[in-house]
Structure 1
Amino acid sequence: MTEDILQSRWNRVYKLESPTGHVNVRVYDDAEGALFVMLRLVEDALTTAISERGRALWIGAGGGTPKPVYEQLDTLNLPWDKVTLSQVDERFVPVDDAASNTKMMAEAAAPLIAKGMVFETLIRDITDPVVCAEKAEALLRSFNGGEAPMFDLTLLGMGPDRHYASIFPGHPINAMVYDTESLVLPVEPATGGVEPKLPRITLSVKALNRSRRIVLYITGFEKEKALEAAVADPNPDRSPIGAFLAQCPAPVDIVVG
């Protein structure tokens, strides 16, 4: 079913060759077509989870690219009271701050929350990023009786600098994010005016790898070219998303709008 969804509106599909194999990329030359496919992918993943396990747990990225997806979720006919949504990462700011993705996601998905969907931010404490990360990890583990949860769907984004979640090129977190046993990590701001300019909270690679399906959704020519470069050079310090794709055990659908 997923393959039928992906084929329904694409304009072109191609493979990116990488040192570890290849990555399938599906490009939709109109925003409407890409959004249509994204909604079908979300619907398919959540419906399957509810059918097989009685509930669905998914996590999503912030930023402008996925915002229309959250805004259009109300067009899907799902039992939203059986769905929990959390986050891939978040800026360490109050949840009512203009820079907060929690604010954006909660407002965009407000109709679903009214229908019973649970939305859980990673910002569990605003006094200290380390404490916040610890409390966010406890939240994630509470979804699975204290053990690391398995996400039914992970919606990732990518920046033109090849970052994903809050894992940025040149940041010291790249030295630990692939090996740590932690599910959630605090991310210190970078120096020299580069991103991240604010402290952040991010899921680790161990946490993200525990996904039944991952969708990487990007828009625009600049990001498409950045993705091509990242796949060809999966060095975590230069191309975090390339390194993640090279090691990811879960199936990944890459949608470019």
Structure 2
Amino acid sequence: MAERKLVVYPGKDLMIQAGARRFVLTLLDLLSERLPDGGQRKRVDVALSGGSAAQPLGLVLADPLADAIDWQRVHFWWSDERFVPADNADRNALEARKLLLDQLVADGKLPESNIHEMAADVRSAEEIASVMADAASDDASVRAAADAVNDTLLEAAARAYEDELTRELGPKPAIDLMILGMGPDGHYASLFPGHDEVLVADRLAVGVNHSPKMPPLRVSLTAPLIARSRHTWFFAAGAGKAESLAHVFAQPNNPAYPSSFAGGVDEFVWFSTEETVTKL
């Protein structure tokens, strides 16, 4: 595993700008790598996240070097997704599409088939509202029935993503570039403190019910899959994340601060800001 590195910027804006430039340069480097037999790499696989970790995507096309990227060989995945309808603004994939991916597709540079979204909730708004109301019921049996419905859908979504990962990348898939953010509570992807999903070791993806952060239904890659990414980047900005960052750096594999489980094989970098590292 790569040694953890910390890069500290004066503020969030510069962190995002630098992240966009690093993204472009890293893609160029990965696409230019030669295989042991001297051949060219056929593809580079990138996993995206939402929130501040997605913001550098909006600056990528302004970089003149982005024109040199062979987007036909870049595949996009997600570290996690909110299990909501496909057109819901909470979708991480929708955010990434608006920031970068849809423009690449429209320009004929990126095949739509290179975008590997996690499943969306295809139920009607009325169905979702009814089940979620039952999930908050005072009646334990009603809550249990609603949870069972949601758990079944989440499990199917997680299994479908696992199948796509193994179909595309083989029986032990590894992402080339994993881009993550950390929440104020120390969570990453949709692996939260106090939830058992961070400890799951025999799956590639899991469903997450009752997320402490809205929306409550999610799908997430697992800690082992994230940890075997070749390059893993974290973006963490804001004074509200300072304490969690200190705990993450102090003790690895601490379920109380799930981001402490992350790692990277060739590179493991935290991009942060001065106000975020005050407790290190």
TM, length-normalised to structure 2: 0.74
1:111 aligns with 2:99: no
Show structure 1 runs of 5+ residues with no match: 1-21
| Structure 2 residue aligned with 1:232 | 250
Report the alpha carbon displacement of residue 150 of structure 1 after superposing the two structures with TM: 2.3
CA displacement 1:111-148 (0-9 Å, x = unmatched):
2232432322111664611111111111112222x423
User: 2:238 pairs with 220, 224, 246, which one?
Assistant: 220
User: 2:118 pairs with 118, 122, 134, which one?
Assistant: 122
The structure with higher relative contact order (CA 8 Å, sep 6+) is 2
- Secondary structure in 2 aligned to 1:36? helix
Report the alpha carbon displacement of residue 250 of structure 1 after superposing the two structures with TM: 4.7
Which residue type is aligned with residue 207 of structure 2?
A: P
Report the alpha carbon displacement of residue 51 of structure 1 after superposing the two structures with TM: 1.5
- Secondary structure in 1 aligned to 2:262? helix
Q: Distance in 2 between matches of 1:94 and 1:85?
A: 20
Q: Distance in 2 between matches of 1:120 and 1:240?
A: 25
Equivalent pair of 1:209/1:250 in contact (CA under 8 Å): no
Greater helix share, structure number:
2
Q: How does 1:1-257 map to 2 (within 5 A)?
A: 23-52=4-33, 53-63=41-51, 65-75=52-62, 76-77=66-67, 78-109=69-100, 110-114=102-106, 115-117=108-110, 118-123=114-119, 126=122, 128-144=153-169, 146-174=170-198, 176-177=199-200, 179-180=201-202, 182-190=203-211, 194-195=212-213, 197-234=215-252, 236-245=254-263, 249-257=265-273
Q: Distance in 1 between matches of 2:173 and 2:21?
A: 24
Which residue type is aligned with residue 56 of structure 1?
A: V
Report the alpha carbon displacement of residue 67 of structure 1 after superposing the two structures with TM: 3.2
CA displacement 1:77-125 (0-9 Å, x = unmatched):
2122221111000011111112211211111112223243232211166
Q: Return closer, same or farther for 1:44/1:173 CA change in 2, 3 Å cut-off.
A: same
- Secondary structure in 2 aligned to 1:84? strand
Q: Distance in 2 between matches of 1:139 and 1:30?
A: 38
Q: Return closer, same or farther for 1:239/1:227 CA change in 2, 3 Å cut-off.
A: same
Equivalent pair of 2:85/2:121 in contact (CA under 8 Å): no
Q: Distance in 2 between matches of 1:235 and 1:208?
A: 13
- Secondary structure in 2 aligned to 1:25? strand
Q: Return closer, same or farther for 1:149/1:105 CA change in 2, 3 Å cut-off.
A: same
Percent identity of paired positions between Structure 1 and Structure 2: 27
Aligned length: 227
* RMSD after superposition: 2.3
| Structure 1 residue aligned with 2:142 | none
Q: Distance in 2 between matches of 1:156 and 1:67?
A: 8
Report the alpha carbon displacement of residue 156 of structure 1 after superposing the two structures with TM: 0.7
Q: Distance in 1 between matches of 2:259 and 2:72?
A: 33
Report the alpha carbon displacement of residue 68 of structure 1 after superposing the two structures with TM: 2.3
Show structure 2 runs of 5+ residues with no match: 34-40, 124-152, 274-280
Q: Distance in 1 between matches of 2:173 and 2:92?
A: 22
Report the alpha carbon displacement of residue 25 of structure 1 after superposing the two structures with TM: 1.7
